[in-house]
Amino acid sequence: MSNRARPYVLAETTWKAVKDTPCQTAILPWGATEAHNYHLPYATDVIHANHVACEAARIAWDRGARVIVLPPLPFGVNTGQLDIPLTINMNPATQAVVLNDITASLTSQGITKLVIINGHGGNDFRQMIRELQPRYPHAFLCCVNWYQVVDADQYFLPGDHAGELETSVMLHIAPELVLPLSEAGAGTARRFRIQALREKWAWTPRAWTQVTEDTGIGDPRGATAERGAEYTGLVIGKIAEFLVELAAADVNDLYE
């Protein structure tokens, strides 16, 4: 194994290392493939989720938690964006089957803890986990939306797609993939006409190209790498702490 390989990242490690390192906690980054305004890449959600997962795993590993990051899944629920070329949709029912197969594989090998690091707002794994839990009663399944771990409103202007948050994080972790912000759209979003939907106590999926001209929701043009680094560091630190606690926890004795 080369010096550059990370033993907590499955894609970079070997069977020789794996067979000698018992592991009970797997981490699954799950993103999406979709347009992110004019300035961010289609794989933004994948890149974010994978970076957060790998960095949190690095910290947890250095603290003695034997965790492993699985290869990221690049396709998410994008039913409202299918009229945008090369947006790839994976239906929730398909995600549920994929998650079942991954869980079955891991639990059969004695890896009983699985944490999904989700990077896409259209993904919702909660009901899938509710359905899977009775099938795998001795497993611990959970999901973490990395962008909700720390209150983003304290750092960035509002916006839930390709705005200041996502752009700042990308400027921090992969600036070479970000076009000049002068080329970004303003991320202006149209509101629902119906009050209940505007207030968000009634919900329906958004028809993306009817909501936004540039596929963004939130103005990205004030984004900075410095704020991306600060915010991401806080998120990664909290997730790493969770992974350390989880690695040491008895999943059959989680309540005080």
Average pLDDT, the chain: 96
- Cα–Cα nearest to 101, from 77, 56, 70, 126: 70
Residue with tokens 């979003």: 189
Mean pLDDT score, 181-208: 96
- Sign of the alpha-carbon torsion through 3, 4, 7, 10: negative
What is the arithmetic mean of pLDDT over 6-26?
94
**pLDDT value at residue 24:** 87
Q: What is the mean pLDDT of residues 151-173?
A: 96
Question: Residues 27, 20: contact at Cβ < 8 Å?
Answer: no
The pLDDT score that the predictor gives to residue 112 is: 96
What average pLDDT does range 165-169 have in this prediction? 98
User: Tell me, what's the pLDDT at 2?
Assistant: 45
Q: CATH fold of 10-248, please?
A: Rossmann fold (3.40.50)
* pLDDT at 135 exceeding the cut of 90: yes
* Whether 220 contacts 184, CB under 8 Å: yes
